Amino acid sequence: MDLIIPSAGLIFWQLFGFLALLFILIKFAWKPMLATLAEREASIDGALKAAEQARNEMANLKAENEKLLQEARLERDTILKKAQEASAKMIEDAKIEAGKQGAQMIETAKAVIETEKKAALTEVKNQVAALTLEVTEKLLRKKLADEKAQKELVDEFVKDIKLN
């Protein structure tokens, strides 16, 4: 039964050992353990604050990125719109310029054709006159080959002169 119920001396020495151990722990281990726990608590608190700050910075960066992205989209749309307008204007200007050049070329061609037509008509008139002179000369030579025909022609001219 001694094992079940401890004696007073055993209780005294166990209590004395426990108190001595408690004193040694309080004297040498308690303060470093509390300091370590306080340090750990501070580092955890700092890490939580840093995480919260990082989360806030990420939210700000995300909002800023969204804003920049929206501005970039607007700028892109503006640039595309200006490019399309410039392209349409260039095409329209090119069409107008081509129309002007085409009209000018047609006018120039008409003028050249008219000039060539007049030159051709003048050439035809000159050729007709030359042919007429040739034919007349040949006819007169043939007609006036004998002296009798020459006299008749002179008489006819004289009659015509007198009538006028």
Q: Give the domain ranges of the chain.
A: 8-163
pLDDT of the residue at 129: 86
Integer Cα distance of 111 and 96 in angstroms:
22
pLDDT of the residue at 2: 60
pLDDT of the residue at 145: 72
Q: Residue 62: what are its φ and ψ, rounded to 5°?
A: -65, -45
How many residues make up the chain in this entry?
164
Walk along the chain (164 residues) in steps of 10 and give the mean pLDDT of each run. Answer: 74 94 90 91 96 96 95 96 95 94 94 94 89 81 74 78 62
pLDDT of the residue at 152: 78
* 3 state SS of 144: coil
Residues near 5 by beta carbon (within 8 Å), at least 6 away in sequence: none
Structure tokens at 163: 């009538």
